[in-house]
Amino acid sequence: MSNGASSVSNNNTSAANNQRQQKAKKYRHAKKKQPHKMKPHGERKSQQQQHNPSKQLEKQIKAQKKQQQSNKSPSASSSSQANGRTSSSSSSLISTLSKKLVGAKFRMINEQLYTTTGAKAKEMFEKNPELYHDYHDGFRSSIEQWPFDPVSNLVSWLKNKPKKLVVADFGCGDARIAKEAKQTTIHSFDLVASNERVTVCDIAHVPLPDDSVDIGLFSLSLMGTNFIDYLKEAHRVLKKGAILKIVELESRFVRFEPFKKLLQKLGFDLQSQLNPDHYFVIFEYRKNENRPSLDVDKIDPLSIMKPCLYKNR
């Protein structure tokens, strides 16, 4: 090959190499600028736990129980004492994990109840009745840690009221009030019947006639996105001059004034407001002669009360 041909060939090779290097440089530069579509491992993990927060706890409990079973058959008598200590430690860990599991399930279900309507919550429990029992197991566990027990407070308050008064407990849970209060007629309503005292219904539509109740109770049960419908239903069944008692978490209120104005528009007069521990708030209202205002249907419930939402753990 001549020197001229060789020179042309070398020039072509050099140009091709330069082009490849430029393309590679552009690719690396573009790759640096382009955001990674795959989410970081930590973020993916937290989202999975949020989707099913009890899954990891269930796995840990199963693993501990399996370990506990293997410790029950020691290979030598000299190791029985050590295995006994291991078994005791394992039992303690299983108990701790089980309590955490109850809490995790409670928080998950509680968020769903606060962010859906009563009708959809009823449908959810009808499809999965075990969720209702998981929820109330967690609720009872939570009460033990609270500085104030709303149900016990209402039972004590009812002791000072005549026995003949008709009571309606909206969102009664396991109907403790019907069990412990002295009143002869206590209607207990909830989405699932945990015992024979409970009438199953969406509390936006209870099976009672108009003007038939002397005392209406809401103990932490204004939790659906349509809680205004629950209050309208209470107004329907309460007699004129009847008492409406509401116990709620203070942290749920954006401000108290919008809630008070809502109740006023619904036909209730405020009698008292108590904050026994700055954790809960207790309202007492009396039904007046006014009909509920039509514009309450235009009110955004979230502008009145916030749902209970939990941080990822």
Neighbours of 208 (CB within 10 A): 18
pLDDT of residue 145: 80
pLDDT, tens digit (0-9, with 9 covering 90-100), for 188-221:
999 999 899 999 999 999 999 999 999 999 999 9
Is there a domain that residue 274 lies in?
yes
Is there a domain that residue 158 lies in?
yes
Is there a domain that residue 171 lies in?
yes
Q: What is the DSSP letter of 305?
A: B
The percent of residues above 70 in pLDDT, for the chain, comes to 65
pLDDT, tens digit (0-9, with 9 covering 90-100), for 9-30:
444 455 555 555 554 454 444 4
Is there a domain that residue 179 lies in?
yes
- CATH code, domain carrying 262: 3.40.50.150
Is there a domain that residue 56 lies in?
no
Q: Who has greater pLDDT, 134 or 81?
A: 134
Backbone angles phi, psi at 278, to 5 degrees: 60, 25
Q: Give 177's pLDDT tier (boundaries 50, 70, 90).
A: very high
Q: Say if strands 238-249 and 280-287 run parallel, antiparallel, or are unpaired.
A: antiparallel
- Which residue do the tokens 């009221």 mark? 161
| CA distances from residue 186 to 209, 232, 253 in whole angstroms, order as listed | 14, 20, 29
- Residue 166 is which amino acid? V
Is there a domain that residue 164 lies in?
yes
Is there a domain that residue 89 lies in?
no
Is there a domain that residue 204 lies in?
yes
Segments forming the whole domain that contains residue 180: 150-303
Nearest alpha carbon to residue 201 among 107, 294, 125: 125
Q: Domain count of the chain?
A: 1
